[in-house]
Amino acid sequence: MAGTEIFSFHESDLDGARDAIRSNYFDTSLDLVGRGRPYEFRFSGVARGSLSVGDCFYTAGMQIGMSDLGTCYYVNFPAAGHMDVEHRGASFEVGPTRAAVFRPIGDIAMRTSDDYRSSAVRIESGALEDALEQQLGRSVRRPLELAPNLEIGDGAGRSWARLVRLIAAEPTSPGGLLSHDVTAAPMQEALLRGLLFSVEHPYRDALAAPVRSWGPGPVKRAVEAMEATPDHPFTVAELARIALVSVRSLQEAFRRHLGTTPMSYLQELRLARAHDALVRADPTAVTVSQVALRCGFAHPGRFSLAYRANYGIPPSETLRHSRIRSRAA
C-alpha cells in the first residue's frame, strides 16, 4: 500500500496558495473577491494512495475556478462560512449542512465568503468505482454520475462528514489514522463506502436492496484468514475476495451466522490475542504498546479503550497482574 504523505502550508500570497493546491489536489485559478484585502491561506492534511483529505482556511473571500478534474472526484464542505458553487449546470450554496460534490468532467466555479474554513476530499475516480463494485459484486458504469451536492446535516451524510473531519485532524497527532497500514486500509475503505451510501447516484437503490443469503462457507473462509494473521491490515473488501462473495453478501453472512460484522469479529479476535499475550507476558520485557502493535492495534490509546470496554479493566492492569503472578511463581 502506498505510504502516507502529510502536508501543511501557510501562505500569504496567491501564487503560493495556487502552488500548494496544485501540488496536493489539482490546478486551479485563485483570485480575491475584494482586491487589496489582507489574505492568508492555510492548508493541511494527509494523502495516501487514491485519497487526500485536507483542511483549508481562507481569511478573505476567494474566486476559485477549475476546468475538468479529469481523474478524480472532489468534495468540499465548510466548518465556517459559506460558498456559492456552479458545476455541470447546477448552482447552489454550500453551508453547514450541505457539501459540494464535483465529478471528473465539468468546469467548476466557487466563490467563498470571508473566513471560509472547509474540509476538502480528493478521491481518484477508479477507487470509488472499485469500492462500489466490491459492494455490489458486479461491474458499474464509469465514471459515476454523482449528485452535485450532499446533505451532511443528518443521517449517513453527517456520519461521513464527521469521519472526514476526524481524518483531516489526525496528522497533527501521533499515530494518525492513515499513518499505519493496519488502520489506514479500513479507514480508506470506510470513507469510500460512506460516500457511496451518502450521495445520490444510479446505484443507490442497488446498495439498499436485499442481499442474497449465503450458507456458512464464506464466513468460514473469512474467519480462517483472520485467525491465521489477525495483525494483517484486513479490509472488508479483502475479506470478501477471500470469501468469494461481494462485500454486502459477506456482511449479511456474518450477521446471519455470527450476529456481528467482519470488522467487529476481527477486533474481538485481536483483543483476545492481546489479552492472552498480556496474561502470558514477561513483565520485565513487554509493554502494553508492544503487545497492542503485535496484535494489530496501531494506536495504543484506542486499544486501551477497546480493551477496557471488553474486559472491564485497562490492559495495564492485566499486565500488572502478570507481574504479580510472575513473582508468586
Cα separation, 94 vs 72, in Å, equals 20
Higher pLDDT, 282 or 127: 127
- Which amino acid, 154? D
| Nearby residues of 129 by Cβ (< 8 Å), 6 or more positions away | 140, 142, 143, 144
Candidate ranges 35-39, 275-279, 281-285; pick with highest mean pLDDT: 275-279
The mean predicted confidence, pLDDT, of the chain is: 90
> Quick one: average pLDDT of 127-149?
95
Higher pLDDT, 17 or 177: 17
pLDDT of 166 over the 60 cut: yes
> Quick one: average pLDDT of 80-89?
96
Cα separation, 20 vs 268, in Å, equals 42
pLDDT of 1 over the 50 cut: no
Q: What is the pLDDT of residue 52?
A: 93
Q: What percent of the chain has pLDDT over 70?
A: 94
pTM, two decimal places: 0.86
List the alpha helices (DSSP H) in 67-209: 125-136, 155-169, 181-198, 204-208
- Beta-strand runs (E) in the chain: 4-11, 29-32, 41-48, 51-58, 62-66, 72-80, 83-87, 90-94, 98-102, 108-112, 116-124, 149-151
pLDDT of 271 over the 90 cut: yes
Q: Mind listing the domains of the chain with CATH numbers?
A: 4-198 (2.60.120.10), 210-260 (1.10.10), 265-328 (1.10.10.60)
- The burial class, CB within 10 Å (0-12 / 13-18 / 19+), for 166 is middle
Cα separation, 141 vs 133, in Å, equals 10
pLDDT of 315 over the 60 cut: yes
Q: What is the pLDDT of residue 75?
A: 98
Cell numbers of 10, please? Answer: 501557510
Cell numbers of 11, please? Answer: 501562505
- Which amino acid, 134? Q
Give pLDDT tens digits for 20-36: 998 889 899 999 998 77
pLDDT band at 181 (very low <50, low <70, confident <90, very high): confident
> Quick one: average pLDDT of 107-125?
96
